[in-house]
Chains A and B, each alone.
Chain A
Amino acid sequence: MSIGHTLLGLLESGPRHGYDLKRAFDEKFGHDRPLHYGQVYSTMSRLLKNGLVEVDGVETGGGPERKRYAITEAGITDVQRWLATPEKPEPYLQSTLYTKVVLALLTHRDAADILDTQRAEHLRMMRILTDRKRKGDLADQLICDHALFHLEADLRWLELTAARLGKLAEVVTK
Chain B
Amino acid sequence: MTPPPGSLLAAQDLRKAYGPTVALDGAEFSVHPGEIVAVMGPSGSGKSTLLHCLAGIVPPDSGSITYNGREMAGMSDAERSLLRRTEFGFVFQFGQLVPELTCAENVALPLRLNGTSRKEAERTALSWMARLEVDDLAGKRPGEISGGQGQRVAVARALVTSPRVLFADEPTGALDSLNGERVMELLTEAARSTNAAVVLVTHEARVAAYSDREIVVRDGKSRDMERSV
Assuming the A-B contacts A116-B223, A116-B225, A117-B229, are A159 and B209 also in contact, with contact meaning beta carbons closer than 8 angstroms in the complex?
no
Partner of B185, one of A127, A134, A149, A155: A134
Task: State A151–B185 Cα separation when bound (angstroms).
Answer: 19
- Taking the complex as formed, is A122 at the interface, i.e. its CB lies under 8 A from any CB of chain B? yes
Chain A residues within 8 Å of chain B by Cβ, number? 20
Assuming the A-B contacts A116-B223, A130-B209, A151-B205, are A123 and B229 also in contact, with contact meaning beta carbons closer than 8 angstroms in the complex?
no
- Taking the complex as formed, is B35 at the interface, i.e. its CB lies under 8 A from any CB of chain A? no
| Distance to closest chain B CB from A157 (angstroms) | 11
| Distance to closest chain B CB from A143 (angstroms) | 15
- Taking the complex as formed, is B154 at the interface, i.e. its CB lies under 8 A from any CB of chain A? no
- Taking the complex as formed, is B55 at the interface, i.e. its CB lies under 8 A from any CB of chain A? no
- Taking the complex as formed, is B94 at the interface, i.e. its CB lies under 8 A from any CB of chain A? no
Q: Which residues of B contact A120 (CB under 8 A)?
A: 214, 225-226, 229
- Interface code B171-209, partner A: CB below 8 Å = 1, 0 otherwise? 000000000000001000000000000000000111011
- Taking the complex as formed, is B99 at the interface, i.e. its CB lies under 8 A from any CB of chain A? no
Partner of A148, one of B209, B211, B225, B229: B209
Q: Which residues of A contact B228 (CB under 8 A)?
A: 116
B206 touches A159 (CB 8 A): no
Assuming the A-B contacts A120-B214, A163-B42, are A127 and B225 also in contact, with contact meaning beta carbons closer than 8 angstroms in the complex?
no
B211 touches A119 (CB 8 A): no
| Distance to closest chain B CB from A161 (angstroms) | 12
Assuming the A-B contacts A117-B229, A134-B185, are A152 and B205 also in contact, with contact meaning beta carbons closer than 8 angstroms in the complex?
yes
Q: Which residues of A contact B212 (CB under 8 A)?
A: 127
| Distance to closest chain A CB from B208 (angstroms) | 6
- Taking the complex as formed, is A156 at the interface, i.e. its CB lies under 8 A from any CB of chain B? yes
Q: Which residues of A contact B185 (CB under 8 A)?
A: 134
Partner of A127, one of B204, B211, B216, B218: B211
Partner of B210, one of A116, A130, A149: A130
| Distance to closest chain B CB from A155 (angstroms) | 4
- Interface code A95-135, partner B: CB below 8 Å = 1, 0 otherwise? 00000000000000000000011011011001101100010
Task: State A123–B225 Cα separation when bound (angstroms).
Answer: 10
Q: Which residues of B contact A134 (CB under 8 A)?
A: 185
Q: Which residues of A contact B226 (CB under 8 A)?
A: 120
Closest B residue to A163 by beta carbon equals B42
- Interface code B109-145, partner A: CB below 8 Å = 1, 0 otherwise? 0000000000000000000000000000000000000
B229 touches A122 (CB 8 A): no
Q: Which residues of A contact B225 (CB under 8 A)?
A: 116, 119-120, 123
Task: State A160–B53 Cα separation when bound (angstroms).
Answer: 27
B209 touches A123 (CB 8 A): yes
Closest 7 CB pairs of A and B: A126-B209, A120-B225, A155-B205, A130-B209, A152-B205, A127-B209, A152-B206
27 contacts between A and B (CB under 8 A): A116-B223, A116-B225, A119-B225, A120-B214, A120-B226, A122-B205, A123-B214, A123-B225, A126-B206, A126-B208, A126-B209, A129-B209, A130-B206, A130-B209, A130-B210, A134-B185, A148-B206, A148-B209, A149-B206, A151-B205, A152-B204, A152-B205, A152-B206, A155-B205, A156-B205, A162-B218, A163-B42
Residues of A within 8 A of B (CB): 116-117, 119-120, 122-123, 126-127, 129-130, 134, 148-149, 151-152, 155-156, 159, 162-163
Residues of B within 8 A of A (CB): 42, 185, 204-206, 208-212, 214, 216, 218, 223, 225-226, 228-229
